[in-house]
A and B are shown apart, each in its own frame.
Chain A
Amino acid sequence: MAHHEFRMPVSEAQVRALRVNDTVTLNGTLFGIRDATQIHLFDRGRTTRFDLRGHAVIHTAPNVRPVPPSAAHPAGYAPLCVGTTTSDRMERFTRPLLQRHGVRLIIGKGGLREDSLAAFGELGGAYLAIIGGTAALETTWVEAIEDVDLDDLNPESLWKFRVRGFGPLLVGMDSHGASLFAQVRHDAQERRAAALASLGVKT
């Protein structure tokens, strides 16, 4: 259960060194993406001017305040509340994110499924679990919104955040085939019979 301090972007070797139950803290660039962002990138042929290679993406659509662009707010947005959404809806986008855009880390809540786990193994990636619903705390780790692309999809734009001490995040899925979420799901399924028996229900 090692702790890793990452300055983004990172190499494949750094990501392959991660194991479930390790913790990671990010510094530097972090990209924000969500359902609409990825529907437009992967289903509607849109492109981004951002280079995501070696980077981390977080499943988010932040609360922002439009402000005049300045050194503190280069993109014209002040971050108000930046949190994390449920990853499961975006399962089918993991592979193209890694394959076509070279993304190395996905940050989200609730975990991803089998194909994402396979993609992490084949292409060198990992899933970092954040605690959903703790956005006030998470926002204190965000220094600025440096840039934004696909902003017609606001709030589901492609956001470029500058973060400091973003974490610790828990490695929930690694490139060695381990997933804490799959393990817990499996164990919970095993306890189903006990739960039903306590209710006097036959399985």
Chain B
Amino acid sequence: MEPLTWTGSLSVLNPIFLGLWALLGVSVLAQIVTSFFGTEVDVVGDQLVVKKTPNALAGMAVKYSFIGAVLITLAYLVGGILIPGLEAKGIIGIMATRFLPVWIALAVTFALSITFKRKLGLYGKLFDSVVGMIGFAIVMFWVFTAIFGAMDFIVTHDPLSQISGLKNKVPGTAVPDGNDVYPYYLLGGDNLARDVFSRMVKGSWEVIKIAPFATLFAFMVGITLGLPAAYYGGKLDTILTFLANLILAFPVILLFYLLVTPEIVATGIPVYMAAVLFIFPIIFMVILINSRFYVQPAKRNIYLAFVLVIGLWLYAGIAWNADPFGIIEFPPNLLVVFVSVVFVNSPTVFRIVRGIALDIKTRDYVAAGQTRGEGPWYIMLWEILPNARGPLIVDFCLRIGYTTILLGTLGFFGLGLSPESPDWGSTINDGRKLLSIFPHPALAPALSLMSLVLGLNLLADGLREESLRD
């Protein structure tokens, strides 16, 4: 069979598309250059009117060429979904069709969120900022891709199966006859003749299932230690700050090389670290509930019992791999990666929380709480923490991005995850050896990782703008 082209029967649009991008680039440059010259003003009748300057002209060119480029991109995607026949769709069209569940989920999410945005607090306000919406769309695209990919909806091939004759083949290569699978390798084959597209989609699950949770755990550890350090000060603060600086002074990669090795896993050190680090979320939740409801013992006991049962069950399963019901299990390979990422991130969170709490604890409402006789933990968790949420939420988004980069770094050095794992870092590492001859196996995961982190950064930017408006 013939190899696929990128845009199939929509290739008539290609020259216009390229032309628009060229125009966009030129006009952006022109606009930047012309912006250094001031504007002139004319008097028309009794009004001051700004003259049409080259800058405004360039601005219009930027606007229309950008709109045009976006429209044609949409045409590629929508057209690709609507046109029947694989050859006519082209690679982009087929990929758009494969991602159909993701598009539907995204559309539903956005429709619901925009309809009810006034009732959704900070999350709803996100939909007032264009940057925030773009970021959110990119992030959710990858989240849905990960979820549907894990359910085998989007992938075209098994990410581990090899088809002979497709080693390092370019995108759109047809699978040789006699193989009873999907007839094309959409983004080509890698150096072990596996499908790059399917590996990219499966790899997003590897990232999405670790990064947010690791960041969440790091936040729990950082908050549980950072609040008392700032609130009590003194020796506790000195010791904790020294420990945090100690971990921060470690080059991250050296730490990973020392911690994430099969030898260290054999000694059981990651399990002990997990045992220490993962107890913090439980402590956090227990203190949170106890400080709020200790005046209503009946209510508190129910909540506490609930949290402790669920928490300790997860704790036994995740940290000690000793779930009494055998439902939760955490492979030691993954545990060491998870623990190291939490370990590296929590000192930074600690410093941020401590800094904000040091500022907030001098406010009048904290003094008022102390005068009312509120306990120290109530003040920390129910007076200080909610008022520190803005910067913390923004940092949370940025930190997920940073964790994603860290996970990629781990994969890039071949640490932790199994060598066959389709996660993006490992795939980039596999592809880099033949980079100057066959760039496509490394390029797909590289661009995916970049877009996810970019989305998280844009989301954080949008959230920051909107939370400052309060």
Real binding pair: no
Binding site for B on A (CB under 8 A): none
| Chain B interface residues toward A at CB < 8 A | none
